[in-house]
């Protein structure tokens, strides 16, 4: 079992831990030092449903809970693939050395990591893993895998519905083959995450369609137990998903009284199309915009309904994904009132009735076959067999980490923000977050 290829397409080793910290560009873009004065994710458990988490890595010591292995190997802290450890470091790494100044610093460095070792191709294992994570008290679950068979009516869909019923935020990668959003990200109520690069532009390999938000997904520094240095750089919506899971942990720590739906409401309504002119929400590439932890933590956003803004449906009767619903929390509420006479109708243009299970299953089968035929997951471009680890070659034009981090920052909003209640029609009040 391995969880690397489909959602972590390229990687290269990094020479030293201090170079890793220097090159963690998402921390610069997110102004993490300022964010951490508000929240560091303390008191929150994030389940990493993945290939396991190597708890012996110096940037993760003390962060990793006992967890459970659903693959039969017996040890959730053994990660021969390295993918789960990488995701855990992006979420909850704390660095090491003098003042923890070296190695990977996660965006939620005080959140605890619950390792749930699964086989992504075996739906029963990750479905059982999700239920286990819920029962262990995880309030955020990161699912950095796709094309997993978690279509409506499957055990995976039922497990995700179980988590939602128990007030858990579920975050999933959209996929990396420039196709459409894969399952489980395509399931109702799941936060589906695409990737952006250092310029905050859409990463062209990200899958598109029913995207919720975007996050950094290119040249991400991460812990890698399979390299000599212990680190690597990689591209993928896996890492983007991990960053959004970290933001959810920051929010759950800061706002413990909010439901999972209300946390997602803050996440969605604080997102922005920074550096992406001409986008309107929901956008097929960036969803409701680039997720921003500082703004999500500080903006004046009403709690909204307990269910939150994402459409939800029975896992056995719908194929709709994490697009905003037509309820009061919908960022495009005014338009939806014209398009629908019922607040329960999903925000999916052109759909006049609910889609039945058979349609979802046929879509999943067609999608799977298409991927096998074009180098997507399941054939070459998919997740590699157990033991192959990261692809050995770096991306074309790859350069080693620089000694100083890039600093794309956020531009100053042009002119005065219009007096409009829709947060997507405004530039954010706090830049650099």
Name the more confident of 58 and 361.
Answer: 58
Give the pLDDT of residue 216.
Answer: 98
Q: What is the CATH number of the domain that holds 102?
A: 3.40.50.200
112 is a domain residue: yes
Q: How many structural domains does the chain have?
A: 1
Contact present, 378 and 2 (Cβ < 8 Å): no
Give the pLDDT of residue 408.
Answer: 32
Q: pTM of the entire structure? A: 0.74
Contact present, 64 and 132 (Cβ < 8 Å): no
**384-400: average pLDDT:** 30
Residue 16 pLDDT level (bands cut at 50, 70, 90): low
402 is a domain residue: no
Give the pLDDT of residue 88.
Answer: 98
Give the pLDDT of residue 12.
Answer: 59
Q: Residue 182: CB partners within 8 Å, gap ≥ 6?
A: 146, 147, 148, 174, 175, 207, 367, 377
Is the pLDDT assigned to residue 332 strictly greater than 70? no
The SS3 assignment for 26 reads helix
Asked which of 28-42, 113-127, 363-377, 385-399 is least confident by mean pLDDT, the reply is 385-399
279 is a domain residue: yes
| Set 59, 69, 79, 83: catalytic member | 83
For the question of residue 94 being annotated catalytic, the response is no
Q: What is the pLDDT of residues 240-258, one digit of tens each?
A: 999 999 999 999 999 999 9
Is the pLDDT assigned to residue 208 strictly greater than 90? yes
- Residue position matching structure tokens 């899958």: 207
Is the pLDDT assigned to residue 290 strictly greater than 80? yes
**337-357: average pLDDT:** 34
Is the pLDDT assigned to residue 195 strictly greater than 60? yes
Asked which of 36-50, 105-119, 301-315, 336-350 is least confident by mean pLDDT, the reply is 336-350
Task: Round to whole Å and give the CA distance between 44 and 248.
Answer: 9
Task: Round to whole Å and give the CA distance between 273 and 263.
Answer: 20
Contact present, 183 and 175 (Cβ < 8 Å): no
45 is a domain residue: yes
For the question of residue 420 being annotated catalytic, the response is no
Q: What is the DSSP string of 218-246?
A: SSEEEE-TTSSSSEEEEESHHHHHHHHHH
Contact present, 8 and 51 (Cβ < 8 Å): no
Cα angle 76, 78, 82; round to 5: 110
Is the pLDDT assigned to residue 235 strictly greater than 70? yes
Is the pLDDT assigned to residue 61 strictly greater than 70? yes
Give the pLDDT of residue 99.
Answer: 87
406 is a domain residue: no
Give the pLDDT of residue 32.
Answer: 97
Is the pLDDT assigned to residue 273 strictly greater than 60? yes
383 is a domain residue: yes
Q: Which two tokens stand for residue 218?
A: 């290119």
How many angstroms from the chain centroid is the CA of residue 135? Answer: 21
The SS3 assignment for 170 reads strand
Q: What is the pLDDT of residues 167-180, one digit of tens each?
A: 999 999 999 999 99
Residue 342 pLDDT level (bands cut at 50, 70, 90): very low
| Set 11, 50, 270, 325: catalytic member | 50
Look at residues 283, 277, 269, 295 and name the one whose alpha carbon lies nearest to residue 29: 295
Is the pLDDT assigned to residue 411 strictly greater than 60? no
Q: Which domain holds residue 169?
A: 5-393
Q: What is the mean pLDDT of the chain?
A: 77
Cβ-count burial 324-363 (b if 16+ within 10 Å, e if not): bbbbebbbbbeebeeeeeeeebbbbeeeeeebebeebeeb
Residue 324 pLDDT level (bands cut at 50, 70, 90): low
420 is a domain residue: no
| Set 11, 139, 232, 238: catalytic member | 238
DSSP 31: T
122 is a domain residue: yes
**63-91: average pLDDT:** 96
Give the pLDDT of residue 217.
Answer: 98
Residue 233 pLDDT level (bands cut at 50, 70, 90): very high
For the question of residue 50 being annotated catalytic, the response is yes
Is the pLDDT assigned to residue 416 strictly greater than 70? no
Give the pLDDT of residue 62.
Answer: 96
The SS3 assignment for 50 reads strand
**386-411: average pLDDT:** 31
Is the pLDDT assigned to residue 362 strictly greater than 90? no
């Amino acid at each position: 079992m391995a969880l690397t290829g489909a959602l972590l397409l390229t990687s290269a080793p990094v020479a030293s831990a201090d170079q890793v910290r220097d090159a963690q560009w998402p921390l610069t873009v997110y102004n993490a030092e300022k964010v951490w004065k508000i929240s560091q994710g303390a008191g929150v458990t994030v389940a990493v449903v993945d290939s396991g988490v190597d708890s012996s890595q110096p940037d993760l010591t003390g962060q990793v809970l006992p967890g459970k292995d659903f693959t039969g190997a017996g040890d959730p802290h053994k990660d021969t693939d390295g993918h789960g450890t990488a995701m855990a470091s992006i979420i909850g790494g704390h660095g090491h050395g003098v003042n923890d100044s070296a190695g990977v610093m996660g965006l939620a460095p005080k959140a605890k990591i619950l390792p749930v070792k699964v086989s992504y191709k075996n739906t029963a294992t990750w479905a059982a893993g999700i239920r286990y994570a819920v029962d262990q008290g995880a309030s955020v679950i990161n699912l950095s895998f796709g094309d997993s068979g978690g279509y409506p009516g499957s055990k995976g869909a039922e497990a995700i519905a179980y988590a939602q019923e128990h007030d858990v935020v579920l975050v999933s990668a959209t996929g990396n083959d420039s196709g459409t959003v894969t399952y489980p990200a395509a399931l109702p109520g799941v936060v589906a995450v695409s990737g952006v690069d250092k310029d905050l532009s859409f990463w062209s390999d990200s899958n598109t369609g029913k995207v919720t938000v975007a996050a950094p997904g290119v040249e991400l520094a991460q812990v890698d137990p399979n390299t000599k240095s212990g680190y690597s750089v990689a591209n993928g919506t896996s890492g983007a998903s991990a960053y959004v899971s970290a933001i959810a942990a920051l929010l759950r720590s800061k706002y413990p009284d909010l439901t999972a739906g209300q946390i997602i409401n803050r996440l969605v309504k604080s997102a922005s199309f920074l550096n992406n002119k001409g986008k309107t929400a929901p956008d097929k590439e960036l969803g409701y915009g680039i997720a921003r932890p500082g703004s999500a933590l500080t903006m004046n956003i009403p709690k909204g309904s307990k269910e939150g803004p994402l459409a939800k449906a029975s896992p056995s009767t719908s194929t709709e994904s994490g697009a905003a619903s037509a309820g009061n929390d919908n960022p495009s509420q005014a338009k939806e009132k014209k398009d629908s006479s019922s607040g329960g109708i999903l925000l999916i243009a052109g759909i006049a009735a609910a889609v039945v299970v058979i349609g979802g299953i046929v879509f999943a089968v067609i999608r799977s076959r298409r991927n096998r035929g074009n180098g997507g997951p399941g054939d070459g471009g998919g997740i590699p067999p157990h033991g192959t680890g990261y692809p050995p070659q770096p991306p074309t034009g790859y350069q080693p980490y620089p000694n100083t981090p890039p600093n794309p920052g956020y531009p100053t909003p042009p002119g005065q923000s219009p007096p409009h209640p829709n947060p997507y029609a405004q530039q954010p009040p706090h830049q650099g977050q």
